[in-house]
Amino acid sequence: MTERYYLYAVTWPECSAESFGAGVDSRFPVELVCHGRVAALSSRVGLDQFDLSKLQQGTADLRWLSKVAVRHHEITGSLARQWAALPARLGTLFASRASLLEKLARCESHAAELLERLGSRQEWAAKIYRAANSGAACEMESLESAPAGAGAQYLAARANRLAERRQVEATIRQAVTDVETHLNTIADAWHRLRPLPATLTNRPEKMVWNAAFLVSRASLPVFQSACAQAAEELAAKGLILETTGPWPIYHFCPSLEDEGQSSAAASVVH
């Protein structure tokens, strides 16, 4: 059976692949392909399951694709908890072990420089939700569902509701700004991200803020303490702060792609 190589991340050659188990194709274990100062955490995949044309055209089975995505993130997440790593995009494929080694040879110097610069830094995610049963949420629902009326009394009531709604929104914005500003002073870098819809979070609460922070292991206790304190303060305002990590540096990783390389989610390097 002809097999391609699936890339999870570029890391240091001292990393051991034995603890990762099976890759995205469960028939093959995760392995380390080394070249000089860097290594590719990868695994073989069979063409009978990894049909490149279906991946590129978006016609792959969604259930299968979801399993691949989950396993991909499990492996890269486990790596990031132990080693500096430059994560690859989901579905990055190489035609052979030789083509993967050629890629490592081309990017070795740049990748090693990035890994050294990354050092012990890790990505942490922070999200703020508006609690579904909070006073702010109930007030917002009340304002949005208030019945219409007629005359001066209705107009005055409507103006009051709008003013109250603006006040609730201003309170949330200020709370978010305070948290963002404080965490930014601890992290080495940060990115504000688009809040995710409920269809992706699977939570009843509405996400009002989403950010990623690059934090050194030395600063991590201070960062986690600040998050815990912020969570208590936000809870009193009907807001929920959730922090997760460490994650691969998805939002802080410069591209290792060759100039002119396709930006498609799945690609083959020959």
Q: What is the pLDDT of residue 184?
A: 93
Residues of the chain with pLDDT under 70: 1-2, 51-60, 133-151, 154, 256-270
Position 86 scores a pLDDT of 93
Q: pLDDT per residue over 24-70, tens digit each?
A: 999 999 999 999 999 999 999 988 777 666 665 566 677 878 888 89
Say yes or no: 109 and 50 in one domain. Answer: yes
Strands 267-269 and 92-94 turn out to be parallel
Q: Is 259 contained in some domain?
A: no
pLDDT at 128: 94
pTM > 0.85: no
DSSP secondary structure string for all residues of 222-242: HHHHHHHHHHHHHHTTTEEEE
User: Do residue 103 and residue 137 come from a single domain?
Assistant: no
108-120: pLDDT as tens digits = 999 999 999 888 8
Same domain, 138 and 92: no
Tokens of 248: 């691969």
Are 109 and 91 contained in the same domain? yes
The residue segments making up the domain with residue 23 are 3-119
Structural domain count of the chain: 2
Predicted local distance difference test score (pLDDT) of residue 270 = 30
Do 159 and 79 share a structural domain? no
